[in-house]
Structure 1
Amino acid sequence: ETAGRPADAAVRERLAASLEFARAIRLPDGRWPTVGDEDDGRVLLADERASRLDLVGHALAAWLDADPLGDAPALALLLSGRRGRAPRAATDGRHEFPHGGYTVWRERGLHVTFDHGPLGLGRLAAHGHADALAVTIRRGGDPIVVDTGTLAYQEDAEARDRCRATPAHATVTFGGRSQSVMRGPFLWGARATVAADGEGWRCRWASGESHRRAVVIAGDEVRIDDVVTPRAGATLVFPLAPGARAETDGRTATVTIGGTVARFEADAIEGWRIEPIEVAPAFGRREASMRLVAAITGEACRTRIAIAS
C-alpha cells in the first residue's frame, strides 16, 4: 500500500484475524506461550525493551487502524509513521480458534491454553512438536504448567529429540513414547491425527493409541478429563515452570510458584511423582525444573487444578 497498491480485502481480513488471535493468547509480559520450535531469531527489532509480538502487532494494528496488543509503537512509526490507537487487552472468557488448533481461556488473571491443532505446517511440519492436547496454565505473572521450550537444534541431538517428544508436554503419553514418529532433528514420519470429539478433542496416535481430552474452566479451577485406549502405559504429565516447588501426597500435589498455589487432584491414577526436567524459557537457555507424572489406572481420568493467590 505504501507503493500505491492496495491490499486485497481478504488479506486485510486474515491479518485482522491473526491480530485477534495474538490478542487472546498474549501473556501479561507481551510474550506468547511456548509452542513448537522457537529460536528467538530476529532481523530487526526496533525496540529491545518490547516483545516481538507487541512490536509486530502494533505495526499491523496501525496499518489496519485497529487496536494494538501492547504499547510498543517503535516498529509502526518506523514502517508507516503512524503510532495508531491505544492498546487493548483481550476480554475475559473462552476464545476458540478451531481452524488454528487452539482454545484460550482468560479469567481474572488466569490464562490457559489448549493445543488441539495438527503436528505442524504442511507436509514437513518441520518445527512442530508432538504436543497434541497439551495445556499451559499461568496465573498473572506466575507460570505454573508450561511447555518445555526448545532446548536445542543441531548442537545436541538427544536434547533436540527430548524437547520435541510427547513426554516433554502437558498431555498424556503411552509408555513414554511420542504421538508421531521423528525422522531426524526436524522431519517427521508417521503422524498422529487430531479431531473434534463432542465437547473435547481426540488424538489418534500414529501407533494406534487413542487419547481424548476435554478442558473446562470454572472460576479458579481447571478441570481436565482424559479418556485413554488402551489403559496400559498411559501416563499423565505436567511440566512445571522453573522455580516452582512441588509436594505430593498420593493423588494430590501442591505446586507453589511466586504468589500462586496450585493444588492438583486426580482420580484413577496411582499417585503423583516428581521428576527432574530441563525447561528452555528461551532458545537453548536451559533451566532445571520438574514435572508431575502419574500412571493412569482407568480408562477415564479427571484432574482438578485449583489455583489460588
Structure 2
Amino acid sequence: MGVPEILWRVQQMAQKKASKVGFGLVAKVPAPSLARFGAPFVAGAPQDVAALREAADAVLAGRWNVFAMKGMNLGFPPQWNRDPKTGTAAPMKLGKAIDYRRESVVGDIKYLWEPSRHLELVTLALAWRATGEQRYAAGARLLLESWFDQCPYPMGVHWTSSLELAVRLLNWAFAWQLLGGADSALFKGEEGTRFQRRWLDNIYRHCHFIRGYFSRHSSANNHLFGEYMGLFVASVQWPCWPESARWEALARRGLEVEALKQNTEDGVNREQAIYYQHEVMDMMLLCHHIGLANGAGFSAPYLERLERLAEFVAALMDVGGNVPMTGDADDAQMVRLSYEGGWSPYRSLLASCALLFQRSDFKRKAGALDDKNRWLFGADAAARWQALPTAGAEQPVTAFPQGGYFLLGKDFGTPDEVRVVIDCAPLGYLSIAAHGHADALSFTLSAGGEELLIDPGTYAYHTQKMWRDYFRSTAAHNTVQVDRQDQSEIGGNFMWLKKANARLLSHQADGAVQHFEGEHDGYRRLADPVGHRRRIEFDATAGMLVVTDVLECRGEHDIALHWQFAEGCTVTVAGGGLRVNGRRQSLAMTCSSGNDVELLRGSDVPLGGWISRQFDEKSPISTAVWHARIAGTTTFVTHIRIGHGGTRQE
C-alpha cells in the first residue's frame, strides 16, 4: 500500500472506532418528503409465469436456494443473522466491529449475506405483479418487516459491507416498483403508513452508510462500482431527503469514472474474471436503464464501453453458449428477473445489449429473449427483438490487446467451429489483484460447441483455504508450472504478492495457419530465474494445434505441463500420448517431454482433477500432467489433433 492508502485506512479505522460511541451514525432519520418518487422502470410481463410462481411458492414455503444449498428449509421468514450453512449465529454488536472474515465468528459469510441481498423479495413482488395473488405481496411485507426487526441499524453483519447494502437497495427499488410504488396497497391505512415510513427510514440509513464507507484504493474494484450503483438507484428512486440530490450526483460521477477506469477500451474488465465482467455489465445496464427512465441516462463513452464489454463476451462464447470460467466467480446476480430453465447470465446480457445497441450479432449470440429483458424493456420488447434483422456469419473480435485475450479458430458460429481463447492478460486489477488467477498463457479449447480444454472455475472464497488456493493456482490451468510453484505468489484469499507479467509477442488470427506467441516473467523470481515463452499454432485445415513451450533457464528445474478436460471427456493414456473422447468431439495429444504423463481425477493428494461450475460445488474431471526434469533452456512441443467422434451422445 502507498502512503495515501495507508492514511485512508487509518481514517477508516478511526471512523469505525468513533462509531462505537455514536459518532458518524444516524441518530434520527429526517422525515422524508413524499412529494416525489422515481419514475417506473420495470414493466412488461413474463412468458414463463409457471416457473416464477414455483419460485415464489418455494420462498413462501421457506425453501431457499443459497449457493450449493438447494431447497433448504430456512423458514419464512428466515433467521437473518444465522449462517444457513454452518448454523453459526453471528453476534449482534456494531456491524463495523465484526470481523466477518473469521469463520469461527460468523460462519461462511457468503451464505450469511446472500439471502439478505433480498433477491427473493423481488421474486415475491414479481409473482404478485404477474398473478395478482395477494399472498405474494403479503409475503413481501412480512419478509421486510422481519429483516427490519432482526437487523436493526447499525447492528450485526448486515451492516458491515457497503456492497451488500448497495445490492439490497437495488432489489428494494425493484420490489417497491413492482408492488405498486408509493401508491401500493401495502402502504394504505395506519399500519401501511407505518410500514412505508419504516422502509424509508432504512433506505436513508443504507444510503448514509454507503456514503461513509466507499471501497477505495486497492479495494476500488467492482465493490466500488456496486456501491455507486446502490447509492445512485436509491437516490433516483427515493429523492426524499435534502442529501438525495448530492448522493445522486456523487454516484453518477463515480459510475461514469469507474466505467472507464475498471474496463479497458477494447472491452475487458480489468479484474480478469469473466463472471465479474458480467456483474459490472449488469450494473452498468441497470443504472443506465433506471437513469433513462428518470430523464437522464449515462454518457456516450459509458455506453460505448458497455458495448465493447458485450463484444468481448460474444467473442468468448462458443456456438454452444459456453463461456470460459476465467478468474473468480461467485454466482451473484444483482437482481433476479428470469426463472426459465437453462437461463444464462451471459446470453441475457447479450440480449439486453442487442436491444440497447440494435446489434443483430448480439441477438444471434443470445439466441432468444428472456423474461429479464421482457421486464426491463416492457411490452414492446418482443417486437423490438423481432425487428432486429438476421445477422450474417459470425466474425468475432479476435484480439483484445489491452485486456490481454486472443482467439484462434475457424468456422465461428457453426457446428464445425473451433474456438481457442488464450490468456495473456495481467493477473488482476489494482495492487491486490483480488479476483485474478495464476493462469498466464493458459488457454481453453472448444469444438463444435463442446468444451474440451477448460478453466476449472473458483469453488471457494472466504473458507476452505486449501481449495481456494488450488482453484486459482497455476496447476489448475492449462499452462506450465515450475518447481511446483505458482506463477504469482498468493498473499491471502483476495490478495497476491509477486505477480506474473504477461506480454504478447505476436498474434495472427487469419488464414489457414494461425498463431499466438507470448511470454511471462512469473518464474524469474526464482533463485535461478526461469522465463516461459509459449507459441500456439492452429492449422485450420488439419485441425491441429501445436503448442511450443520454451523454458529459459541455466539450472535444473521440475516442470509440470497441466491439461484440464471438461466433465464429458474420457481420457486414456495410449502409446505415451493421450486419447480424449468427448461427447461428440475427440482429441489426440502427444508431448515431446516423453511418456511421463500422470492422470488425476478427483484427487486430494496430489490436488488435481476438479471443476467447479457453481460456487461451493465441485466435481471430478480428468487432469493430465506431463512431468519432466530439465537442466538449462528446454523446449517442449505438444501436438493436439481435433477430431469428431466422441464416446457418448448428448
1:27 is displaced (CA, Å) by 2.9
Note if contact 1:252-1:271 (Cα within 8 Å) is conserved in structure 2: no
Do residues 286 (structure 1) and 618 (structure 2) align?
A: yes
Do residues 212 (structure 1) and 533 (structure 2) align?
A: yes
1:155 is displaced (CA, Å) by 2.5
Do residues 302 (structure 1) and 637 (structure 2) align?
A: yes
1:184 is displaced (CA, Å) by 1.3
Match of 2:567 in 1: 242
Note if contact 2:419-2:445 (Cα within 8 Å) is conserved in structure 1: yes
> Of the candidates 364, 369, 393, which is equivalent to residue 72 of structure 1?
369
1:258 is displaced (CA, Å) by 0.8
Do residues 225 (structure 1) and 548 (structure 2) align?
A: yes
Match of 2:497 in 1: 189
1:94 is displaced (CA, Å) by 7.1
Q: What CA distance in whole angstroms lies between the structure 2 residues aligned with 1:180 and 1:38?
A: 19
% identical aligned pairs: 25
1:254 is displaced (CA, Å) by 0.8
The farther-off stretch of 86-95 and 19-28 is 86-95
**How does 1:11-26 map onto structure 2 within 5 Å?**
11-26=302-317
Higher relative contact order (CA 8 A, sep 6+): 1
Match of 1:177 in 2: 485
Match of 1:123 in 2: 431
Match of 2:467 in 1: 159
**How does 1:69-108 map onto structure 2 within 5 Å?**
69-70=365-366, 71-81=368-378, 82=381, 83-84=384-385, 85=388, 88=391, 91=394, 95-107=398-410, 108=416
Counterpart of 1:153, as a letter, is Y
2:420 is paired with a residue whose SS is: strand
Kindly tell me: are residues 86 and 178 of structure 1, through their superposed partners in 2, closer, same or farther at Cα, counting changes over 3 Å?
farther
Counterpart of 1:134, as a letter, is S
Match of 1:51 in 2: 344
Note if contact 1:251-1:269 (Cα within 8 Å) is conserved in structure 2: yes
Kindly tell me: are residues 57 and 274 of structure 1, through their superposed partners in 2, closer, same or farther at Cα, counting changes over 3 Å?
same
Q: What CA distance in whole angstroms lies between the structure 2 residues aligned with 1:135 and 1:55?
A: 25
Counterpart of 2:617, as a letter, is R
1:181 is displaced (CA, Å) by 0.6
> Of the candidates 355, 373, 385, which is equivalent to residue 62 of structure 1?
355
Where structure 2 has 5 or more consecutive residues not aligned to the other structure, the ranges are 1-291, 411-415, 508-516, 602-608, 645-650
Q: What CA distance in whole angstroms lies between the structure 2 residues aligned with 1:72 and 1:35?
A: 26
Counterpart of 1:280, as a letter, is S
Kindly tell me: are residues 295 and 90 of structure 1, through their superposed partners in 2, closer, same or farther at Cα, counting changes over 3 Å?
farther
Note if contact 1:24-1:90 (Cα within 8 Å) is conserved in structure 2: no
Aligned length: 309
The farther-off stretch of 179-188 and 288-297 is 288-297
Q: What CA distance in whole angstroms lies between the structure 2 residues aligned with 1:121 and 1:87?
A: 38
Counterpart of 2:347, as a letter, is D
Q: What CA distance in whole angstroms lies between the structure 2 residues aligned with 1:283 and 1:5?
A: 36
Counterpart of 2:369, as a letter, is A
Note if contact 2:322-2:449 (Cα within 8 Å) is conserved in structure 1: no
Q: What TM-score comes out, normalization by structure 1 length?
A: 0.91
RMSD over aligned CA atoms reads: 2.2
Note if contact 2:409-2:538 (Cα within 8 Å) is conserved in structure 1: no
The farther-off stretch of 64-73 and 115-124 is 64-73
